[in-house]
Structure 1
Amino acid sequence: MPLFLLLLALAACSTTPTPSPPVMSADSSLTLFDFDDPDAPGWQIENDGVMGGRSQGFVQIEEGTMVFTGEVVTQGGGFTSVRGERAADLSAYDGIELRVRGGGRTFDLDVDDGTRHRGREVNRQASFPTTEDWATVRVPFADLETTAHGEPVSVDPLDRSGIQTLGIYIADGIDGPFQLEVDWIRAYADA
């Protein structure tokens, strides 16, 4: 038998395992807001004027960054906020991470699933620090405190599958100007 036919016969008889497809792992993060996208949803300001306060907040997108600026006046209110709509199912994630720079002021992240308590909007918030330099901060869903008009309330746990909006508040009790820059906002999953 010629060598060529022998090799061909051996090749036909060998059992080469079929390669299995690669195992795909779940993404460890999901981008919710990327301010490089010209079609990014708009963000809306809510100042403490709704309760008689005089704080002022402003928001704009500059060079791929959301910039939240203004001034906090603690007398009569003491907060301003910015909120973006983003319906998302985050049931596979453990929290929200943001890449921010804020000059040392403390801000609060608010995660809204549409829950209401006695007709009032329920806030689920946790604070995050900032520095003069860019940093990634994480806010675990487990750290969110639940309130309605500043008072603790007992409601169902956060419905991670029904997130409607994310908000950022400044209510740190310090009078004066502030600036927060946000590069992106993502949901993250612990490894």
Structure 2
Amino acid sequence: MIDLTRMVDLSSEESMALWRITNDGIMGGLSEGRMLFNHDHGVFTGHISLENHGGFSSVFRPVEGVPTKLHSIQIDVQGDGQCYQLRAVVFDNGYRLAYKHDFETVAGQRQTLTFPLVDFKASFRGRLINNAPILASSDVREVGFLVNNHKAGDFVLSVFGIAFLEL
């Protein structure tokens, strides 16, 4: 039996204020992303530019008090046919580590996808950290999404739900 232990709120315009965008402009790029509210869900949308060595946009929001015995993250999304990353952020010895899991979307199709925490890969500034510990639910401080497909163009990922699961 699956227990939906902790759900990230995406149901109100006020909940969108918790999301923080990081675009490639921090490194000179020109990509633009934003998180919008659309009736009962969030929409991560924007444009990827490869100019000035750009090529990514990400969005994160804090989560607090995630219990220790959770084993998976489940997302309810509708994409545009592009590949995205689900990211769980932890802070380790003053460093912000992003544990990532790639997922493909099918244009216009709503999908519920579940990812075991043991399958997430730790990264720091785009580089994999091979000796990082396995992601533990109690260490997660932020969740979010990143698009980095190495091609210019628009992107749209509708996010209906994010849940931490106990199996």
Structure 2 partner of 1:128: 103
Q: In the alignment, is the contact (CA less than 8 A) between 2:63 and 2:143 conserved in 1? A: yes
> CA 1:58 to 1:38, structure 2 compared with 1: closer, same or farther past 3 Å?
closer
Question: Alignment RMSD, CA only?
Answer: 1.9
Unaligned runs of 5+ in 1: 1-24
Matched, 1:189 2:166: yes
Aligned pair partner of 2:18 in 39, 42, 51: 42
Matched, 1:32 2:44: no
Matched, 1:107 2:84: yes
Q: Rg: which structure is higher?
A: 1
Which stretch shows the higher mean deviation, 105-114 or 40-49?
40-49
Q: In the alignment, is the contact (CA less than 8 A) between 2:118 and 2:134 conserved in 1? A: no
Structure-1-length-normalised TM-score: 0.77
> 1:89: Cα distance to partner?
2.4
Structure-2-length-normalised TM-score: 0.87
> CA 1:63 to 1:44, structure 2 compared with 1: closer, same or farther past 3 Å?
same
CA distance in 2, matches of 1:105, 1:43: 21
Which stretch shows the higher mean deviation, 130-139 or 31-40?
31-40
Structure 2 partner of 1:179: 156
Q: Deviations over 1:56-75 (max 9, x none)?
A: 10111120110111011234
> 1:37: Cα distance to partner?
4.5
Unaligned runs of 5+ in 2: none
Q: Deviations over 1:101-152 (max 9, x none)?
A: 0111111011112125xx6421110111212111101222111111111122
Matched, 1:155 2:135: no
- Matched residue type, 2:69: A
Q: In the alignment, is the contact (CA less than 8 A) between 2:84 and 2:148 conserved in 1? A: yes
> 1:54: Cα distance to partner?
1.1
Structure 2 partner of 1:55: 31
Identify the structure with the greater strand proportion: 2
Figure out how many residues of one structure are paired with residues of the other and give that number: 163
Structure 2 partner of 1:6: none
Structure 2 partner of 1:92: 69
> 1:80: Cα distance to partner?
0.3
| Greater relative contact order (Cα < 8 A, sep 6+) | 2
